[in-house]
Structure 1
């Protein structure tokens, strides 16, 4: 049965959640410059438009950023990804610009910002689930990076926790781009709804007029 996107992302039960849309990951300077370059093409502009539209429609916006203390306490060391981040010239140190949301998306007074020190995605073992439930959320519109790991982990955790997961395919990014598209088509399509950002924008715009 076709999904009624307007009902699925209705403001009364939906939140927009950004995943690692922070200066040190996809901003200036970026710890992952190749990913940042790809994100600037479509993901960042579309995520920025969605954040602005969400605020206007009364949809809560929650930003999930990753950080790592200089001494590494509380952070993972058990995968190549984590060890590779130790070598980046842009450390994600708490309290620095590297862990701030990129200016294109920004942080409004009504937004919630959550910082994690561990894990592959924004939901496992963090405050995100509790925050969303306290906001009355049953549908998550997830944007950000990366389709390779973080957004994949986010989608699985969200579905396992009982949420409807919506991932605008042009407001996420991964490397290489053709691999990210394959993951969207062959894996994420099985657990999430994958509209274009413009479709969600249209649904929120129509909800404001109804």
Structure 2
């Protein structure tokens, strides 16, 4: 039998996930990030261990059935690097990989930059917000006003990575006044034990951590 505290927590999560004011936001779920020719293979491998792509596909389908907007935030880098940051080791590492593995480069219009087919994106209804700069999808990308125009107050954030981009997304969303829900089996980072520590000791302080199946049940109308 659930305790009073557990019952209250479940009720709060149900309220947060109300389809009337929720959006699903995917982060960098692209061929060149999660596919076989990933920029950072260790990250792609970590995502495969939890079937991250399959979890996001299920969440996306449930979101559309419930009328929840689905937004895909993607990272791009022009072949000439124009508009891209150069002020962190991460950017330099990504540029080196792109030079060595052109098939993994996230050039606009390339296969690598496209959304991973396994997540089940629907171009007829989903929104895609690309960026050329920064560590994550929130700052100066237009994401916040688009979400507000859609009536969203809670963001279910999924994708990669718990090392950088998802941290920026979660912190930016909270700073902007949004509630954040993180399904732990629909996010990934590397190494996996570090990703788990970030979820437990950092992101759980600012977001509600749950599992994808719990979100799907709520959007399917069956609650807890």
After superposition, what is the alpha-carbon deviation per residue over 1:86-120, rounded to whole angstroms, capped at 9, x for unaligned? 11111110011111111111321110001000011
Match of 2:88 in 1: 79
- TM-score, scaled relative to structure 2: 0.90
Question: How far did residue 6 of structure 1 move?
Answer: 1.5
Match of 2:120 in 1: 106
Cα-Cα RMSD: 1.3
CA distance in 2, matches of 1:52, 1:101: 15
Match of 2:42 in 1: 34
The one of 29, 43, 54 aligned to 1:45: 54
CA distance in 1, matches of 2:49, 2:62: 20
The one of 14, 34, 39 aligned to 1:6: 14
CA distance in 2, matches of 1:171, 1:107: 15
CA distance in 1, matches of 2:86, 2:206: 29
| 8 Å contact kept, 1:6–1:204 | no
Question: How far did residue 41 of structure 1 move?
Answer: 2.2
Q: Is 2:177 the counterpart of 1:162?
A: yes
Match of 1:123 in 2: 138
Question: How far did residue 27 of structure 1 move?
Answer: 1.5
| 8 Å contact kept, 1:169–1:196 | yes
The alignment partner of 2:221 has SS state of helix
- TM-score, scaled relative to structure 1: 0.96
| Structure number, greater radius of gyration | 2
In structure 2, runs of 5+ residues without a counterpart are: none
| 8 Å contact kept, 1:17–1:143 | yes
Question: How far did residue 40 of structure 1 move?
Answer: 1.6
CA distance in 1, matches of 2:53, 2:206: 23
Write 1 or 2 for the structure with the bigger share of helix.
Answer: 2
The alignment partner of 2:177 has SS state of coil
The one of 198, 201, 205 aligned to 1:190: 205
| 8 Å contact kept, 1:48–1:105 | yes
The one of 144, 147, 150 aligned to 2:165: 150
Aligned residues: 208
Q: Is 2:188 the counterpart of 1:173?
A: yes
Question: How far did residue 134 of structure 1 move?
Answer: 0.7
